[in-house]
Structure 1
Amino acid sequence: MTVTLERPVGVTDALTLLSPEAAHRLTRRATTDHPDVDTATARRIVGQAVAFIAASGRQPGQSLAPSELVDYGWHAFILHTAEYSEFCQRVIGRFVHHLPTDEDEEMPGGPQATRQRTLTAIRAAGFQVDEELWPAAGKCTQCHAGCTGSPKG
């Protein structure tokens, strides 16, 4: 069996990895779940969530985490399980689980180091980073082992 993964060439807007219909559907879900977020911002959030998921899947064990806003987009995507699963297989070659940390757990190096690792991984994967959606002083929505497939143990 041969698996061909979609890899961006150069710096890519991650939304191009979704169909226009899927991008619209996820944007609509994000604005429904978070009425304080306008449609244009929700679309940016979804794009960054897609970039984060793709980078996380390519960097297992890196202790990456989405910002609170980017996590909105990830949650919207997870609700569409068939599309999410297909995306993970097509783009990464495996499923990327969302495994939040407990309140008392910390990511290696703290929130700022986690943010820097995450943004570095997204850029290294060839995706654009929308800095406004990754606030420097913001609290990360932290996930176990970089939200890869490894269960807590």
Structure 2
Amino acid sequence: MTTTIQERATVDARRLISSELRATLVAAVRGKSPVLTEEKAERGVGQMLAFVAASARSDKTLSPSPLVDDFWHAFLLHTKAYQDFCEQTFGRFVHHQPGFLDKSEHGGKALRERTVDVITLAGYELDMEFWPELNLADCTQCHAGCSDSPNGPKTV
């Protein structure tokens, strides 16, 4: 007996908004961060939309990466477009509630891991360049040359 495993196709969240609105958001973010290429800004809009869509459908607290949050802020500043998007796509407004999470319950890397898991389970493409803190080690004494390791750089 042969078992076939099919990978589930992912959705590019950029398709959730019009190309005109996408271009507006790309321009807004690039206006504040001119070092961003247009291509990376396009991908960032997609990651923000995937995050907002996953948040709208999740009963758990999720948190964007700082970079994804920059894209969300750009969308929030276009209040009518953001409100219309939320109402049309989710049937309700998705609020941005920054900062006041209990770190012991919703802290750091664990929360971001949950966030990317929920985005993935919702079927959206994930671009790990926009979630860089998930690539950081959770160690303080790995002795692999880190700054606080005995093998790390010496400072006098």
TM over 0.5, shorter chain = yes
Residue pairs, 1:4-153, within 5 angstroms: 10-60=9-59, 62-102=60-100, 105-106=102-103, 108-135=105-132, 136-137=134-135
Distance 2:30 2:63 in 1: 22
Q: Which runs of 4+ in 1 moved over 4 A?
A: none
Larger RCO (alpha carbons 8 Å, 6+ apart): 1
Give the distance between the partners of 2:104 and 2:42, measured in 1 at CA: 28
The secondary structure found in structure 2 opposite 1:108 is helix
Give the deviation of 1:10 after TM superposition.
Answer: 4.1
* Structure 2 residue runs without a partner (length 5+): 1-7, 137-156
Report the secondary structure of 2:105's partner residue. coil
Structure with greater Cα Rg? 2
Equivalent residue letter for 1:129? L
Post-superposition Cα deviations, 1:74-115, rounded to whole Å, max 9, x if no partner, equal 01110111111111111111101111114x842625211111
2:121 partner amino acid:
A
For this pair of structures, how many residues does the alignment match?
Answer: 128
Are residues 107 and 50 of structure 1, via their aligned partners in 2, closer, same or farther at CA, if it must alter by over 3 Å? farther
| TM-score (normalised: structure 1) | 0.77
- SS of structure 1 residue aligned to 2:51: helix
What is the CA deviation profile of residues 13-71 of structure 1, one whole-angstrom value per residue up to 9, with x for unaligned ones? Answer: 000011000011000101012223221111111110001001001003x1200001111
Q: Given the two structures, how large is their TM-score scaled by the length of structure 2?
A: 0.76
Residue 5 of structure 2 corresponds to: none
Once the two structures are aligned, what percentage of the paired residues are identical? Answer: 41
